[in-house]
Amino acid sequence: MLRRILTRLGPADAAVLGPGDDCAVLRTSGDLVVTTDTMIEGPDFRLAWHRGFELGWKLAATNLSDVASMGARPVALTLALACPRRTPVGLLEEIASGLDAACRSLAPGCGVVGGDLGTAPVLTGAVTALGDLEGRPPATRSGASPGDVVAYAGDLGLAGLGLSLLFRDGTEPDGTAHDRALARLREEHPAALTAQLAPSPPIALGAEAVRGGATAMMDVSDSLSLDAARLARASGARVSLDSQRLLAGFGLQRGERVPLEAMLTGGEDHGLLATFPRGARLPGGFREIGEVLEASGPEPAARSGKRDDVRVDGERYAPRGWDPYSLPLPGA
């Protein structure tokens, strides 16, 4: 099984020693960033919806975007994959092909350098991604200052729109997938379905943002409003979003109309949310969507039960977004 999987994986440029030993050996020019993410069948993906290639692509893309959000260049991935004993080896080969294709397309030079195989009641993948800062300081969530411009790069709201379409039209009443309905959705909403099933984050723009003076940055995986609130809290500030800028920049994406609410609450696009000093030239691909404000008054959030981390058009906005614990399990 391993031999069949490894033949589908290209090498990583940074690998001095790749798969086959107890550890891989990497050579980089700067500090390393490391991130790990787990995807579990049920709360995180549905094999009834995902093709194996798409799942492998998404496993890579969701981790590559985290590396990019720190301003690093992705150099290597490891994959731990656990699956039921009845899983066809062909599905694992498709996943490997998707992983490799995503690396080659989104982060050339990055590759899978090792991992693990095991058994589990449901298909589970855990990817660890490593990135090279190449002498740059890391971009963190905590560097935004009042007066900074808030900008975004990548798809916005498309993946959440795709997920809502899948739940609405891609399942039977008992929660199982309907093949004909899924084929129709793929034909009628290709951009939204692709954004959900096999996203393509703007990986190269992470390093560009740091070179362009980004003061803070993060991957938007749960929703723009939720992740903007996290950036605001980490920076001790507030984020104010402009609905007109959002609609002008992201209201029509690859032929798909995306409502404002989908932009604010849809998750899994894995775009880059960044802040830049006022007057800085935004790197190509980033669009201005708001500004950073001073933190609200001394009212303690814990006592009031209300936060004021995010505003939309000047009004307090309660962040909402992707939460795997709130989703129904297949058949539930």
Is residue 69 within 8 A of residue 206, CB to CB? The reply is: yes
- Is 219 labeled as ligand-binding? yes
- Is 243 labeled as ligand-binding? no
- Is 44 labeled as ligand-binding? yes
- Is 116 labeled as ligand-binding? yes
- Is 20 labeled as ligand-binding? no
- Is 115 labeled as ligand-binding? yes
What angle do the packed helices 179-188 and 158-169 form, to 10 degrees? Answer: 150
- Is 278 labeled as ligand-binding? no
Question: From CA 55, how far away is CA 101, in angstroms rounded?
Answer: 11
- Is 141 labeled as ligand-binding? yes
- In this structure, is the dihedral angle defined by the CA atoms of residues 255, 259, 264 and 268, taken in order, positive or negative? negative
CA atoms within 13 A on the CB side of 295: 14
- Is 308 labeled as ligand-binding? no
- Is 36 labeled as ligand-binding? yes
Task: Tell me how crowded residue 156 is: count the other CB atoms within 10 A of its CB.
Answer: 27
- Is 87 labeled as ligand-binding? no
- Is 22 labeled as ligand-binding? yes
Binding site: which residues? 22, 35-37, 44, 66, 115-116, 141, 219, 221-222, 268, 322
- Binding-site members for substrate are 44, 268, 322
Residue set of the binding site for ATP: 115-116, 141, 221
**Which residues carry a binding-site annotation for Mg(2+)?**
22, 35-37, 66, 116, 219, 222
